């Protein structure tokens, strides 16, 4: 064998070499490892509820196993589940989907990747307002596209004039997320309509990630651009799933919903990539969507209490600030006024990542530094943790900030 061939045998895809590891999952993994070794850490990294799924979900899964239902299903998912998902989107979001518009996927993450694979040709551009969920740019790259990152405005909403400037003839889609991970911001109704109308005028598809749509607080309502600008339903896609609002992260159930032609291609891609979605989790999801709404609401109310606790706690700490979480279960904290300070830990705060590092190493409070979401001077707190843990974390956070402000030198 020639040396040229042996070099080829040892090499990997250049395209895949550009894909970053999920920053949030890697920090969460490290923190879970430290906790397993017995280190006492308050873990506020989690992008997952600390609750159990509704009882009917667990019961349905056990019954499905006992009844031998763990076989392949149709590749786009069981028609009964697709029907229930369509009905729930009709009732809760107001978009007139039928079963044929829906593809059940093994998590919303792969639903988004498959949606992108279905529409992108090499080099096509996708607008991504940031701060954003860490996976979006990598997903676009995985699907052969080019992510175009566009900074949000001071209210953490997509900046319309910046989007306008970034849009060109190679732009085919925009990836948006409301309620937002990591900012907790919910797009207001008028803004959502304006954004939808702009996309329609520009001929852009929207992939509207509404994963946290059932988790909004204090009377704030969720709005979908696909409902407010119905014409978009012909070309745009809606993404949701069971992970966050039903506490089913590990069950891997996400939903693509969109025009029938797009759904058919997503189904075909899935038939080759996954074969079919998890059969047992599909039975459990049908039970959850049909009978688990009261427990879903109980979890939302619990998150709402925590959102108030964490917002009030941060508000009381001079030197840091965050927009009040309106949805999802994250608080995105601005630490700009601590930049340049160094305290006894010896770490100089040059970014939200540095601050998050001090919190972990010195105070044993785990959070996610803002660079994972494209924001330098922020860090993310997940309030998917008990009130006791949140209170303990707030105390430590408060004393860390006051130490930095009083004794920190720059």
Ligand X SMILES: Cc1ncc(COP(=O)(O)O)c(C=O)c1O
Instruction: List residues near ligand X by CB under 6 A.
Output: 47, 107-109, 133, 177, 181, 209, 211, 241, 243, 249, 254
Q: Are 340 and 349 in contact (CB under 8 A)?
A: yes
Dihedral sign of CA atoms 77, 79, 85, 89 in order: positive
Which CB sits closer to ligand X, 47 or 49?
47
Output the smallest distance, CB 301 to ligand X, in A: 21
Nearer to ligand X, 198 or 246 (CB): 246
CB of 57 or CB of 338, closer to ligand X: 57
- Identify the CA nearest to 274 among candidates 99, 139, 138, 114: 114
Smallest distance, Å, CB 105 to ligand X? 8
Kindly calculate the radius of gyration of the chain based on its CA atoms and give it in whole angstroms.
22
SS3 278: coil
Cα 171 to Cα 175: distance, rounded to the nearest angstrom? 11
Residue among 180, 150, 155, 176 nearest 165 (CA): 150
Least distance CB 347 / ligand X (angstroms): 28
Tell how strand 125-130 and strand 42-43 pair up.
unpaired
Please say which residue, 241 or 313, places its beta carbon nearer to ligand X.
Answer: 241
- Nearest CB to ligand X, comparing residues 192 and 317: 192
Identity of the residue, 73 or 177, whose beta carbon is nearer to ligand X in the bound complex: 177
Residue 381 contacts by C-beta under 8 Å, 6 or more apart in sequence? 44, 310, 330, 331, 332, 333, 367, 393
CB of 244 to ligand X, least distance (A): 7
Q: How far apart are CA 331 and CA 383, in angstroms?
A: 7
Q: Least distance from C-beta 339 to ligand X, angstroms?
A: 27
Query: How far apart are CB 131 and ligand X at their closest, in Å?
Result: 11
Residue 126's SS3 state is: strand
Least Å from the CB of residue 325 to ligand X? 14
Q: Which is nearer to ligand X, 108 or 349 (CB)?
A: 108
> 3-class SS at 116?
helix
- The residues facing 237 across adjacent strands are 207
């Amino acid at each position: 064998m020639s040396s040229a061939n042996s070099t080829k045998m040892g090499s990997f895809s250049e395209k895949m070499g550009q894909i970053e590891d999920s920053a949030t999952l890697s920090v969460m993994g490290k923190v879970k490892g430290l906790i397993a070794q017995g280190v006492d850490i308050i873990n506020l990294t989690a992008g997952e509820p600390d609750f159990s799924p509704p009882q009917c979900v667990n019961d349905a899964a056990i019954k499905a196993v006992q009844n031998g239902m763990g076989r392949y299903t149709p590749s786009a998912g069981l028609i009964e589940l697709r029907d229930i998902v369509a009905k729930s989107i009709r009732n809760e979001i107001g978009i007139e989907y039928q079963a044929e518009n829906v593809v059940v996927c093994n998590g919303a993450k792969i639903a988004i990747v498959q949606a992108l694979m279905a529409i992108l040709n090499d080099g096509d551009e996708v607008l991504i307002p940031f701060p954003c969920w860490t996976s979006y740019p990598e997903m676009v790259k995985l699907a052969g596209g080019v992510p175009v990152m566009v900074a949000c405005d001071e209210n953490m909403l997509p900046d319309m004039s910046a989007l306008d400037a970034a849009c060109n003839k190679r732009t085919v889609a925009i990836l948006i997320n409301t309620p937002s991970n990591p900012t907790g911001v919910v797009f207001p109704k008028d803004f959502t309509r304006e954004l939808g109308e702009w996309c329609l005028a520009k001929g852009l598809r929207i992939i509207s990630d509404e994963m946290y749509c059932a988790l909004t607080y204090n009377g704030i309502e969720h709005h979908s651009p696909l409902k407010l600008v119905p014409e978009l339903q012909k070309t745009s896609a809606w993404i949701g799933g069971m992970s966050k609002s039903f506490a089913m992260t590990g069950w891997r159930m996400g939903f693509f919903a969109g025009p029938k032609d797009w759904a058919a291609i997503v189904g075909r891609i899935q038939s080759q990539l996954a074969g079919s979605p998890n059969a047992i989790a599909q039975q459990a999801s049908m039970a959850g969507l049909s009978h688990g709404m009261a427990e879903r609401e109980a979890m939302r109310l619990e998150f709402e209490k925590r959102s108030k606790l964490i917002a009030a706690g941060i508000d009381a700490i001079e030197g840091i600030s965050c927009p009040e979480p309106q949805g999802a279960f994250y608080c995105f904290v601005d630490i700009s006024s601590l930049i340049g300070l160094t305290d006894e830990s010896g770490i100089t705060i040059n970014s939200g990542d540095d601050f998050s590092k001090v919190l972990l190493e010195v105070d044993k409070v785990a959070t996610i530094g803002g660079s994972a979401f494209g924001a330098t001077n922020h860090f993310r707190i997940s309030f998917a943790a008990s009130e006791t843990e949140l209170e303990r974390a707030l105390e430590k956070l408060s004393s860390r900030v006051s130490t930095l402000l009083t004794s920190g030198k720059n």
